[in-house]
């Protein structure tokens, strides 16, 4: 626990940088809503109305297949970040993924609020916010760990040219990612079985 706190303290600036990058993505995504053409807005409105009807009719009911599809979606982000962290050239890719995650959330929330006002905000709070309050910190921790490991490779292999063993930093990197994967599986359970029930509570206001 002490080593974890020390590592977090040492990586504070990285966490701030990744957090700011994510928030910029959220802002950019929200602003993208204003760039939609009238035809695109109408198409999205039709899709959302169909989605709301489907939720209201129980189409988003809990199932094991839904759980694994939701879990797989989150794990793909974590897996891609982990793989990019293993190489020097993957460093920009990690930052792009963090930015894109922010864009996706910002656009979704921005559109819901712009289209449905406070009702859209309420729907976003029950359908998007709960799981993302855990998923976003998980992705940030994975990203910082990946950036730290990538920077370690650059410093140790290319700048200082030490050529020492990388087993210990790699093991720490892999262990943290494993814990984040386990946490993500728990979040996927909430998103599969709890979130649809909350959405069914709000959707009548949007129809």
47, pLDDT greater than 80: yes
pLDDT tens digits along 66-116: 888 999 999 999 999 999 999 878 889 999 999 999 999 999 999 999 999
The conformation of residue 14, written as its DSSP 8-state character, comes to H
User: Could you give the CA distance from residue 119 to residue 135 in angstroms, rounded to a whole number?
Assistant: 24
Distance, CA of 114 to CA of 129 (rounded, Å): 17
Interval 159-194: pLDDT, tens: 666 656 678 889 989 999 999 999 999 999 998 888
Residue 53 confidence (pLDDT): 82
In this predicted structure, what is the pLDDT of residue 36? 86
- pLDDT of 2: 47
Instruction: Output the CA–CA distances (angstroms, integers) from residue 102 to 17, 151, 180, in the order listed.
Output: 13, 23, 19
| pLDDT over 60 at 138, yes or no | yes
Q: Which residue has the higher pLDDT, 37 or 144?
A: 144
**Residues in CB range of 207: below 8 A, 6 or more apart:** 49, 52, 53, 56
- Average per-residue pLDDT for the chain: 87
Beta strands in the chain (DSSP E): none
Global pTM value: 0.88
- The residue ranges of every structural domain in the chain are 14-202
Average pLDDT over residues 13-39: 93
Are the C-beta atoms of 31 and 175 separated by less than 8 Å? no
- Answer whether 33's CB lies under 8 Å from 111's CB: yes
**pLDDT for residue 59 is more than 80:** no
pLDDT at 141 over 60: yes
Q: What is the pLDDT of residue 63?
A: 60
């Amino acid at each position: 626990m002490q080593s974890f706190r020390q590592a977090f303290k040492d990586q504070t600036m990285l966490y701030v940088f990744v957090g700011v990058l994510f928030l910029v993505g959220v802002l950019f995504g929200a602003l993208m809503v204003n760039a939609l053409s009238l035809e695109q807005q109408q198409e999205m409105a039709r899709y959302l109305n169909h989605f709301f009807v489907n939720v209201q009719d129980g189409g988003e009911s809990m199932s094991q297949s839904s759980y694994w599809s939701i879990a797989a979606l989150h794990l793909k982000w974590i897996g891609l970040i982990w793989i990019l962290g293993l190489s020097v050239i993957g460093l920009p890719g990690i930052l792009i993924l963090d930015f894109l995650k922010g864009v996706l959330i910002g656009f979704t929330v921005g559109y819901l609020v712009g289209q449905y006002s406070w009702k859209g905000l309420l729907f976003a709070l029950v359908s998007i916010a709960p799981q993302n309050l855990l998923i976003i910190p998980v992705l940030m921790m994975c990203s910082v760990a990946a950036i730290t490991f990538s920077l370690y490779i650059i410093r140790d292999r290319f700048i200082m040219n030490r050529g020492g063993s990388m087993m210990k930093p790699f093991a720490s990197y892999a262990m943290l990612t494993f814990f984040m994967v386990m946490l993500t599986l728990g979040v996927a359970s909430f998103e599969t079985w709890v979130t649809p029930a909350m959405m069914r509570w709000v959707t009548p206001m949007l129809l």
